[in-house]
Amino acid sequence: MRRSTKRYLRQGGLYAVLAAVVIFLAVSVDWGNVHRNFWTPGLGDNWHDLILTGVKNTAIYTVISFALGLALALLLALMKLSDVLVYRWIATVYIELFRGLPALITILFMAFAVPIAFQWHAPGGTAGAGVIGLVMVAGAYMAETLRAGLQAVPKGQTEAARSLGMGPVATHVHVIIPQAFRIIIPPLTNEFVLLIKDTSLLSIVGAAVGQRELTNVSRDFLSSGSTAGTGTSLAQAALLYLIITLPLTRLVAWLEKRQQRAR
């Protein structure tokens, strides 16, 4: 047999297996049931309002966690690169701790245990406390990214700035940090996408109606309204997540490729 014939046969075989699986699913699955569960129309009047609130809150929680997480991460990264041993040590312990824990544990701690233990009322109640938990986790993850970015800036840059008389703070603010951020834009955008998805963890801590994010809102509809008992609301939430995250993941891929070309 010629080699091209062999390859032709092998590909034909793979297509045949695929076709068999598709046919099997098509005849054995109760499609009516699937459709009812994932896409029953008529989620009720207030669905649109609530889902919009959910999207809005997801966006707000993501942006807050990202912005505050980034500030925390910058502090941790600078501490980790500091000459002061104790600072390095504190940063390392923090980063290892909050990367080692499941994010959900941290969120639950902040929402329920910490407020009671420390007599503390988070702004925004339980939801606010949960967001702070997310900030703490995001900070730990982004700290490592930032540290790598800061270290990737060539030593000559610091030397040039210092030789001009610029102090360590001015050198960091004007020379090192701006270049570090350029280097880590792709991984940071990636962290942003992860955070969008991680805000769904906040659905667990319970929140006032106006504070609920996308997952929380759609979960409420699992047991209420005309579609109760079906997964329709979840399916629609899933679609909304994808509409937001997929373009961003493509953006990350594009940024990475552009950066590789620039190198």
Q: Are 188 and 206 in contact (CB under 8 A)?
A: no
Q: Is 247 in the site for other proteins (CB under 8 A)?
A: no
Q: Is 55 in the site for other proteins (CB under 8 A)?
A: no
Closest CA to 202 of 107, 67, 101, 105: 107
Please work out, in degrees rounded to the nearest 5, the angle formed at the alpha carbon of residue 72 by the alpha carbons of 71 and 73: 90
- Please identify which residue in 36, 88, 162, 197 interacts with other proteins, judged by CB under 8 A: 162
Q: Are 179 and 134 in contact (CB under 8 A)?
A: no
Which of these ranges, 69-77, 133-141, 175-183, 190-198, lies near other proteins under the rule CB under 8 A?
175-183
Task: DSSP for 51-120, please give it.
Answer: HHHHHHHHHHHHHHHHHHHHHHHHHHHHHHTSS-HHHHHHHHHHHHHHHHS-HHHHHHIIIIIHHHHTT-
- Please identify which residue in 102, 178, 210, 229 interacts with other proteins, judged by CB under 8 A: 178
Task: Report in angstroms how near the CB of residue 167 gets to other proteins at its nearest.
Answer: 5
Q: Is 10 in the site for other proteins (CB under 8 A)?
A: no
- Please identify which residue in 41, 100, 123, 165 interacts with other proteins, judged by CB under 8 A: 165
> Residues binding other proteins: what is the number (CB under 8 A)?
18
| x/- track of binding to other proteins for residues 138-157 (CB under 8 A) | ----------------x-xx
Q: Which of residues 182-221 bind other proteins (CB under 8 A)?
A: 182
Closest CA to 50 of 217, 233, 230, 224: 217
Residue 174 to residue 169: CA distance in whole angstroms: 8
Task: Report in angstroms how near the CB of residue 165 gets to other proteins at its nearest.
Answer: 4
- Please identify which residue in 37, 92, 151, 179 interacts with other proteins, judged by CB under 8 A: 179
125 sits in which H/E element: helix 125-152
Q: Is 170 in the site for other proteins (CB under 8 A)?
A: yes
Q: Is 167 in the site for other proteins (CB under 8 A)?
A: yes
CB neighbourhood size of 180 (10 A): 21
Q: Give the interface with other proteins as residue ranges (CB under 8 A).
A: 154, 156-157, 159-167, 170, 174-175, 178-179, 182
